Structure 1
Amino acid sequence: MMGRLTHTQRNHKRIHAVENSFGPLSKPLAQMDRVLIGEGRLMKQSRRGPQPKVFYLFNDVLVYGSIILHGHWHKKQQIIPLEDIQLEDLEDSMQMKNQWLIRTPRKSFYVAAASHEEKLAWIEHIEDCQSRLLQSGICRSSSTFAMTWIPDEASAICMRCSDKFTFTQRRHHCRKCGFVVCGACSKKRAVIEHIHPTKQLRVCNMCHSSLQTAETKVQKIIRLRGNSTGKISSDEYEVEVFSEEETEEQMEDHNTNRWTDCKMYTLCPFNYLKPGHVRPQI
């Protein structure tokens, strides 16, 4: 009993330390029964290339953010419920080794670990926590996931009209398909509800047409069913979406990932501390 109490107190202290590292404007992280499982730096693929991010895995959410002041402080806090995550293992690419894909309804992105062992540990821990969370029956897994953005350097031409990009012909990204497109091919705007329920987002002409067609079909279903509220369930209408990438920090070296000894907790009773890994400093 005393050992469990000590672990609980240590866990709460560590969660508050993570919360404080994001500054006073961040969302609170301390909650009843929330356990900090592990932390570390991963390289996250952005439109400007791989960038280092700090990641924190809890038993119910995945939190990440940009690194500032030599890793002592963080910003741009992002919180993803584990039930909204889908992982896909990937082969090494020219830009990133030990990578995998994290899909969510609002954003999908590539991340990479410093070693193959760390990659497997992250995937295993995330899937284990997600499995336990879903088995509890508290939440349900998402069925719609966002498209990943194609990096700027992946295409020298617009992926819709094939015009060459220049200093004046800038690259843009369609928020629905993730393609690199020119300004002329992305003048249209559309609401993508998984990203923002009312905001008009940049989409390419092709996706704009498909969204309009889908919306027309939805309106027909609503009229046929006599739905006066104008709403339709997610099971009846699903579209893939992608959110705009946030501003990235400058690249820094990897540090080792760190996992807590969770044998005292019933929610995530695994123990992973490989050689070279250290416990988080409070």
Structure 2
Amino acid sequence: MFHQYNRTFGDLRATVQCVSFLSVVEAKFTVRSDYYGRSTEFEELTVSYKYKSEKLEDCEKALEELGGHLYESKLKVVELKEELLPLSEAEWEKDANVANCKGCNLQFSMSKRKHHCRNCGSIFCNSCTDARVKLPSNAKPVRVCLHCYNLLRSRHNSTLEENPT
């Protein structure tokens, strides 16, 4: 009987060792399976990260480009406001208030007539308003003073340089 208990005890010990070994194998299998699952998930996340990084880079480039266009547009608006400023704020000087030409200081008389600059509204002699320019407010070229002529010509030339077509 003792021999039988000893044998049964040995069988139990072997069974416990076998179960313990199987538990270790199962744990290793679970860890390995979990590792491969996480490895696949990691690869998917890496691909997703690369895609989103490229998208972000594209968006940043587009945003930078739009910022440049916005800056150019704001500059253009400022230029247009400056261009229209003389037209909107120009006040037609009254003939009675002016005795001398604003350009050369020549005194007006019966033979030296007064002429208004159609851009700034100031009064000049014939020589100082010799230039003609087409203004947005007139269909034909109109009389302007030399200062306004030079100003309008430089704006016109810079516009042509920016937009050659």
Higher RCO, Cα 8 Å, sep 6+ = 1
Higher normalized helix content (fraction of residues): 2
TM-score normalised by the chain length of structure 1: 0.27
Higher normalized strand content (fraction of residues): 1
